[in-house]
Structure formats: structure tokens, C-alpha cells
Structure 1
Amino acid sequence: MSEGEYSVQQRELTVKRSIQLKSVITLLWFGLASSSVLAEEPLLPAFSKMNSLADGWEPLEFPRIDQLTRYELVTDDGVQVVQATADGSASGLIARVDLAPGDSMLLRWQWKVSKVFENGDARKKSGDDYPARIYVAFEFQPEKAGFFERAKRKTVEVMFGETLPGNALNYIWANRLPEQVFIANAFTDQTMMVAVNSGSDQVGQWVTLERDIVADYREAFGEEPPRIMGVAIMSDADNTGERAQAWYRDLVLTVP
């Protein structure tokens, strides 16, 4: 190869690389870069990397419940996690999202609890408490709701400026409910409870779990899921009046 031919090839390679770089910058600018170009941003803020609980998560509170569960960032086995202390209380932390679930969406997490509730029972309102639960909220579908349900939701929106979600999945650490059982919440059939842990055999241990949200929604509600509007952690003891602690590591949402 002559010196002239080598110089031409080098210039062509430089131009090609410049075009590729500009393409990546364009993708970055419009938020279109794929995982083959860039590492994907996590869909849920990671507890392990947060400076405070306000970094992507916000309080999830409920009417007529004044005593709130305490959430704080702590270190466990060298990893930053969220510690929840429920003492006759109820509230959660929610990450707001707006995601189309597609054909499959996996939710992975690790949690640990100090105890299960002696009087916990998912089949009863008086026992509707869990030392740990993951709450997945879906978009409300007004075309499938009755007149009174739509009117109630509209009133809430006008009064509080808050749009209520529709159906929800709750992954729970149950007491009496066998694992893998789906059951309607004792207060509303718009929320389906899924026992992913049950009993005290694994109390005090980190437990790793993975669920396909789309498959679980189909089983729970018999239809395809609408958009996902939020994912929350929640430790509550307002019905039983008991006390427990739970620890949550990062929640990870992925599309297989």
C-alpha cells in the first residue's frame, strides 16, 4: 500500500468514526440510544445509590391513617438498604413511573423481615397487615368502570389533585396464606394479593424474589395489564396493631 493510499484510508476511517459519534450524540439528545450503545438507565431508583429517600421515591399515605411507618436508609452487610419500622402504622414509599408492560416485565428484589404478624391474615380485614409488601399500581381504565366508581375518582382528583390508580398487585410476606396463592384484598377486589413468602421459616434472612408482572396480572385479573403507574414498598401494622421491621434492597424492573 502506498503512503497516499494509506492516508486516504485513514481519512475515511476518521470521517466514519466522526459520523458514528454524531449518531450516538443524536440518540443521546433525543433519548433514543439502545442498550447496545449505552447502559440502560434503571427504571426504579436504586436504594443502594440514593443520598436520601427523596431521590426518586415519595411517601405513600392513606386517608384516616395518622400513624405512619418509619422508613430510613441504613447499611446492612455493607449495602445501603431501606429499613421500615411498622408499629401499629401504615404507609409506604412509591416510585412514580409510566411504563407499558408489553408481553413480559420482570420485577426482582430482595427483602428481609424481623417477624411475621401473629394476627396477620390476608383473608380478613382485621388481619390485612404485612411486615413487607411490594405494591404495583396500574393505570385506571374508566371504560371498564361503573358510573359511581368514575364519579368517586373524579371527586378525589378535584379535591386533592391526585389521580387514583386502577387495579394493583400486592406481593406480600404473608402469615397464614400459602405461597403462590392469589387472593382479592379484604377491602377491595381491585387489589390482588400474591403470597410470595409465607410464615416464619425465613425470618431474619435475605430472600431473593422475581415475578413476571404481566403474567401475574393476567392470572389475577384475567386480562392484559394497562400501563404501570407506580411501584411501592410498604410495611403496615395498622389493623393488627403489631410491630415489625423489614429491610428492602434495590427493586429492579427489566424487560426480558
Structure 2
Amino acid sequence: MSKEVKVDVKRYPLLQWRWKVVTLPRGGDSRKKEADDQGGQIYVTFPRFPSAVRSRVIGYVWDTTAPAGTIVKSEKTGTVTYVIVRSGDAETGRWLTETRNVYEDYKRIYGEEPGEEVGAVSVAIDSNDTHSAAEAFIGEILFRKP
């Protein structure tokens, strides 16, 4: 599910959201193409022309296996870089609030300041590569000042 937005992350760098992951995909691992499944995903898209091939997408994910804090480029989709926010099932079944500084994450990932506004925010779950199941609930998502 995706929502078009226009957000200047220099002015509103903090992305905050609530989520509750109930089921993680068995064996999911963002670092491996054949197991690239996550229990919860929040994607922030920075569109660039032509957007289909040049957009930059940061995916904040709850992974089954990859350690929290890991930053890894998707092996399946060249425009997506994952930031592993949570890992494993220790906190599943509970509503949690997360906050990320998208501006700082962008600079860390791409080595430069964002030259464009955020154009979309998307939410998803993924379990097709592991042929398992995933379930998550996503609450309020907002950008704010520090």
C-alpha cells in the first residue's frame, strides 16, 4: 500500500511509526536474494527521473534473521536499500513505536544530502521468497521535526 506525499526531510527529518509484527517469515533474511522477506516494511521513496529506474528507496524493515542496525542493498531490487530496524521474534505481538532520522540515513546510505523531496511512503509485508507467512499491523506514520 502506497501514499504519495511531498516531504522535505531537511525540515522534517524524523519518520515515526507504530507497528506490531505478529508473524515473521520463516528464514527471512534481507541479505539474501532467495530469502528476501520481512515481517514489516516501511518504504520511503525519493523519486528521480525516470523514476522507475533511478528512484532511491529506503526500506525500514523488521527482519527475521539480519541483525538490527544492518544496512544492506536489496539483491532483488537495485533501487532499494534496507535498514534493519528490528530483528527476530523477541518483540513480536506488541505495538512498538519507531523513530528514524531519514535525512541522516539518506546521507549515510548515498553519501550525499537528499536532492529531492520524499515522494511516497509505502507499507508492506513479504513472504513469497521463503514460501512462508508474515503478518503485521501498521499504525500512524508521520514525519516531524526533531
Task: Give the structure with the larger strand fraction.
Answer: 2
Q: Secondary structure at the match of 1:211?
A: strand
Aligned to 1:156: none
Alpha-carbon deviations, 1:20-71, whole Å to 9, x = none? xxxxxxxxxxxxxxxxxxxxxxxxxxxxxxxxxxxxxxxxxxxxxxxxxxxx
Match of 2:90 among 189, 198, 201: 201
The TM-score with structure 1 as length reference comes to 0.53
One-letter amino acid of the structure 1 residue matched with residue 67 of structure 2: P
Q: RMSD over aligned Cα, in angstroms?
A: 1.6
In the TM superposition, residue 104 of structure 1 has moved relative to its aligned partner by 5.1
State the alpha-carbon separation in 2 of the partners of residues 250 and 100 from structure 1: 19
State the alpha-carbon separation in 2 of the partners of residues 133 and 188 from structure 1: 14
Matched, 1:249 2:139: yes
In the TM superposition, residue 229 of structure 1 has moved relative to its aligned partner by 0.5
Contact 2:39 2:134 in 1 (8 A): yes
One-letter amino acid of the structure 1 residue matched with residue 124 of structure 2: M
In the TM superposition, residue 126 of structure 1 has moved relative to its aligned partner by 1.3
Q: 1:123 to 1:220 in 2, by over 3 A?
A: same
Q: Secondary structure at the match of 2:104?
A: helix
Match of 2:25 among 102, 114, 117: 117
One-letter amino acid of the structure 2 residue matched with residue 173 of structure 1: W
In the TM superposition, residue 175 of structure 1 has moved relative to its aligned partner by 1.3
State the alpha-carbon separation in 2 of the partners of residues 184 and 95 from structure 1: 23
In the TM superposition, residue 113 of structure 1 has moved relative to its aligned partner by 1.2
Q: Secondary structure at the match of 2:66?
A: coil
For structure 1, the residue ranges without an aligned partner over 5 or more in a row are 1-92, 143-152, 154-162
In the TM superposition, residue 102 of structure 1 has moved relative to its aligned partner by 1.5
Aligned length: 144
State the alpha-carbon separation in 1 of the partners of residues 25 and 125 from structure 2: 11
Q: Secondary structure at the match of 1:215?
A: helix
State the alpha-carbon separation in 2 of the partners of residues 217 and 189 from structure 1: 15
Structure 1 runs (4+) deviating above 4 angstroms are none
Alpha-carbon deviations, 1:126-179, whole Å to 9, x = none? 111111110000021x5xxxxxxxxxx4xxxxxxxxx53611100000111111
Alpha-carbon deviations, 1:69-115, whole Å to 9, x = none? xxxxxxxxxxxxxxxxxxxxxxxx11101222216511111111112
Equivalent residues in 2 for 1:25-174 (5 A)? 93-102=1-10, 105-140=13-48, 142=49, 153=50, 163-164=51-52, 166-174=55-63
State the alpha-carbon separation in 2 of the partners of residues 99 and 132 from structure 1: 22
State the alpha-carbon separation in 2 of the partners of residues 175 and 166 from structure 1: 26
Task: Give the structure with the larger helix fraction.
Answer: 1
The TM-score with structure 2 as length reference comes to 0.91
Contact 2:25 2:126 in 1 (8 A): no
In the TM superposition, residue 211 of structure 1 has moved relative to its aligned partner by 0.4
Percent same amino acid among aligned pairs?
29
For structure 2, the residue ranges without an aligned partner over 5 or more in a row are none
